[in-house]
Chains A and B, each alone.
Chain A
Amino acid sequence: MFKFLKPQVSVVLLLTSFFCSSASIAQPSGNQAAGNQAAGNQATGNKATGNQATGNQATGNQAAGAQAVGALAKPWLNLGRAATPAEVKAWDIDVRSDFVGLPKGSGSVAKGEEVWEAKCASCHGTFGESNEVFTPIVGGTSKKDIETGLVANLARPDFPQRTTMMKLSTVSTLWDYINRAMPWNAPKSLKVDEVYAVTAYILHLAEVLPSDFSLNDQNIAEVQKRIPNRSGKVKFIGLWDLKAKPDVQGELCMSNCKVSAEVASILPEFARNAHGNIAEQNRFVGASRGVDTTKPPLKEPLKVAIASGIADSPKLAVAAPKTPLALAKEQNCLACHGVDQKMVGPGFREVAVRYKGNIKAEATLITKISQGGSGNWGQIPMPAQPQLGSEDVKTLARWILEGAK
């Protein structure tokens, strides 16, 4: 939200600050780039020399254009139009940490609970504790944290998860994000008072506010003083300002460097195929191939293994991905399911219609396909499909939910 200050005309000098660049000087591009030289290089199209080869992406275009019309004219200044007050109001919804932009309103914990049950709990759990769809909102903070302003559990490497309330340091952020982006599938549908109410309810679940509290634009600054992690953030300008010094620097040693070069960490073998078969994720020509991760690591070099025709030589298939329909046919899904209509089981598109807008649809369907089920579409059970790989199940589930096209 824009806090109104007396406007000032700024002078952004696009072209007045000329800078002499040479091929050997590294030069960040920008307004101050050397227009003349850049324009020259681009015009001659000489790729091997000057800016392009050495890292200067100079702003040739703008400079060249300006030269043609006169450097001070800026004949584009009249482009665009004035925004109307109503338009600014419609879009300028951000709320700053000093609460500039926060609209007047109020909402109680009790009202928040109602809204929560109706619109939030399906993803976040009744008590904001659910870990099913998103990371839990509430948990991990203590009464002590509310006093200190620092969440003690954040310093514990063994603490399993970082909840929203553990990380939250500015209450304005919570209000702003609920207002702009929630509920997940219908953002910006909550009324202002509902946003206050849901914010109050979350803070109540986190034991920051009592159950009879009503949050409003007047008391929110006081509430900020109770946010458990309000002092938990630091601004490190080494990763913000290019002029500031970095905190970690490497070494330039070239020979006999003091390193142990011992392998300290490697993917455990049970996770070998967790990202799917890597053979199918690499090009099948070139100096290397993806290894077949459906099998244990190679026992012999590839050349030897292939030449001797041993059984576990890597199968480096072309692996043309199957279309979901082909997969469904191959897996005999179509024996029981029509694409449109119910046969033994429901038609795929009937399934899509039933689950439309259901956030858990994919996960539900994945379970139904791999583990089977009954009672949802009739009494004939759907058998489990243990032969299907997890990627294939996911492909099928997504395809079905997208209307089996």
Chain B
Amino acid sequence: MNLLDDNSAQIAPNSSPALIPGRVQKAPENHVDHTFHATARKARRSFMGKALAMGAGVASSSAVSARAEGEDAILKLPPHTVGLGQPVAARGYGLPSQYERNLQRRESPGLTRVGAASVSFAPLQSLFGIITPNGLHFERHHQGWWDINPEHHRLMINGLVKQAKVFTMDDLMRLPAVSRIHFIECGANTGMEWGNVAVPTVQYSHGMLSCSEFTGVLLSTLLDIAGADTKKGRYLLAEGADGSSMTRTVAMDRALDDVMVAWAMNGEMLRPENGYPLRLVVPGVQGVSWVKYLRRIEVGDQPYYTKDEVMHYVDLMPDGRHRQFTSIQEVKSVITTPSGGQVLMDKGYHNVTGLAWSGRGRIKRVDVSMDGGRNWRTARLETPVLSKALTRFNIDWVWDGGPAILQSRAIDDSGHIQPMMRQLRAVRGTRSIYHNNAIQSWKVTETGEVFNVQVS
């Protein structure tokens, strides 16, 4: 019995008094409610003061008895156990717990200058499974977002078609629907890290990434209705109804494969920030092609050279030329916990978890290294493992308290292997901005603090 044990028993009755190897030890100051926190602080001041004055080894008898009996969290029945709770429909549309308010989509300071042409990142470090909650889905707007009345929204299909057509939302939602789970990743995700480490956490390094179950109609169904010339018409233009009237070229072979015109995500209509009431879903292709507030599809025989194919979303190569029409989000993975900016609570067992995805298909395997890439073990993939969707992986790790560098490496069913940063740089240099799918490294120090690093 020593002073520290007694002290922790006093101020944090629900922390375990002894260090059990492999068990997560709770910190006293962040998992108790405010009332208890205040009481505990007062108690600690008086108790610590006396105890320290008397010297180590002097134990308080009340502390001992309190610990012997058990935790207050169990012994003292809380209000929610002895009182009456809230009625049904107290909130017509439910909200996350008040204790989850730290999870917000956030901007990266200095990245963009105008809020209406900016990006917010999803808090990957605190999410589970593969589905992104709709309210935390990353955002990218080119000229601000709108909440459009679906009754007045129209989709036009024109160009190389037998008959140019107009669809109301009523029409579209009567058509044969499909529901598919797909990831969406901005082409510039991890773009700030091409040259060096620039951001502290996975939210900012990889948070332009989300995954939803989308419901809509296959674009091929609409092209069929309009009588599209799919031979001559090798390209499509997708155009939004917002101020920027965002445009991107989509390949016809994709349009005939798995491209969707979607109105729903995760069981409800699209959120306004994500294109309500209609957006394009182009599985495996960078987010900019998933045109929001979709108003028009044009079938044509040439690419369109739109602003986001000429000025942006072009990848600068070392020779000063830009790659144009780069679209595929290649095989990639990242450990989300533990990750940069976090601190491990204790030595011992940790479930290392992360996400893997590929725009070329299904994730076949994820390997994880704890020593900066020297040795690797294969992680468990959680089901479902779907094509062009996020895949969750988990792997056991017993942290010995020493320094470690955590990495994950994904392999997809096309045989493509996630590259190291230096392999990417050898071909594409450091100024590409877009399509950085490098292996991510997180350094764990002896203090348990985790840092975003790049290894040579």
Q: Which residues of A line the B interface, CB within 8 A?
A: 1-3, 5, 7-10, 12, 14, 26-31, 48, 52-57, 59, 61-62, 65-66, 74, 76-77, 79-83, 87-88, 91-94, 96-98, 132-134, 150-157, 162, 164, 167-170, 172-173, 176-177, 180-181, 184, 187-188, 232-236, 239-242, 246-257, 259-267, 271-272, 274-276, 278, 280-291, 293, 297-303, 306-309, 314-321, 359, 362, 390, 398
Give chain A residues whose Cβ lies under 8 Å from the Cβ of B101: 319-321
B58 at the interface (CB under 8 A from A): no
Assess the A302–B448 pair: CB atoms within 8 A.
yes
B67 at the interface (CB under 8 A from A): no
Assess the A267–B231 pair: CB atoms within 8 A.
no
Give chain B residues whose Cβ lies under 8 Å from the Cβ of A390: 109
Known contacts A55-B362, A298-B447: A290-B341 contact under CB 8 Å:
yes
Assess the A257–B374 pair: CB atoms within 8 A.
yes
Known contacts A7-B161, A154-B320, A288-B337: A94-B237 contact under CB 8 Å:
yes
Give chain B residues whose Cβ lies under 8 Å from the Cβ of A80: 157, 165-167, 171, 222, 225-226
Assess the B454–A10 pair: CB atoms within 8 A.
no
Assess the A232–B328 pair: CB atoms within 8 A.
no
Known contacts A66-B176, A282-B126: A290-B162 contact under CB 8 Å:
no
New A-B contacts (12) at CB < 8 Å, excluding given A254-B376, A319-B102, A390-B109: A12-B223, A59-B218, A76-B225, A80-B171, A82-B166, A133-B114, A152-B320, A154-B320, A248-B428, A250-B409, A278-B200, A291-B449
Q: Which of A81, A234, A274, A308 contacts B323 (CB 8 A)?
A: A234
Assess the A232–B321 pair: CB atoms within 8 A.
yes
Assess the B245–A54 pair: CB atoms within 8 A.
no
Assess the B371–A261 pair: CB atoms within 8 A.
yes
B393 at the interface (CB under 8 A from A): no
B416 at the interface (CB under 8 A from A): yes
Known contacts A133-B114, A253-B376, A302-B447: A284-B171 contact under CB 8 Å:
no
**CA A31 – CA B115 in complex, angstroms?**
39
Most buried by A among B228, B299, B316, B322: B322
Assess the A187–B243 pair: CB atoms within 8 A.
yes
Known contacts A29-B180, A181-B143: A76-B307 contact under CB 8 Å:
no
Give chain B residues whose Cβ lies under 8 Å from the Cβ of A94: 237, 239, 247, 298, 304, 306
Assess the A283–B204 pair: CB atoms within 8 A.
no
Pairs A–B under 8 Å by Cβ, sample size 26 = A14-B221, A14-B224, A87-B166, A88-B158, A97-B302, A133-B113, A181-B307, A184-B143, A187-B245, A232-B320, A250-B423, A252-B411, A254-B367, A254-B376, A266-B451, A267-B199, A278-B341, A284-B102, A287-B345, A288-B338, A289-B345, A290-B342, A301-B447, A303-B27, A306-B8, A321-B101
| B325-365 interface bits toward A, Cβ cutoff 8 Å, 1 = contact, 0 = none | 11110100000011001111111001100000000111010
Closest chain A residue to B161 by CB distance?
A7
Q: Which of A53, A59, A187 contacts B143 (CB 8 A)?
A: A187
Chain A facing B: main interface SS: loop
Interface-lining segment among B78-86, B133-141, B264-272, B382-390: B382-390
Assess the B177–A61 pair: CB atoms within 8 A.
yes
- Residues facing A in B225-270 (CB within 8 A) are 225-232, 237, 239, 243-245, 247, 251, 256-258
How many residues of B are in contact with the other chain, CB < 8 A? 181
A-B pair number, CB within 8 angstroms: 481
Assess the B102–A180 pair: CB atoms within 8 A.
no
Assess the B229–A8 pair: CB atoms within 8 A.
yes
**Min CB gap A123→B, angstroms:** 9
Q: Which of A12, A57, A157, A299 contacts B220 (CB 8 A)?
A: A12
| B422-447 interface bits toward A, Cβ cutoff 8 Å, 1 = contact, 0 = none | 01101111110001000100010111
Interface-lining segment among B28-36, B68-76, B87-95: B28-36
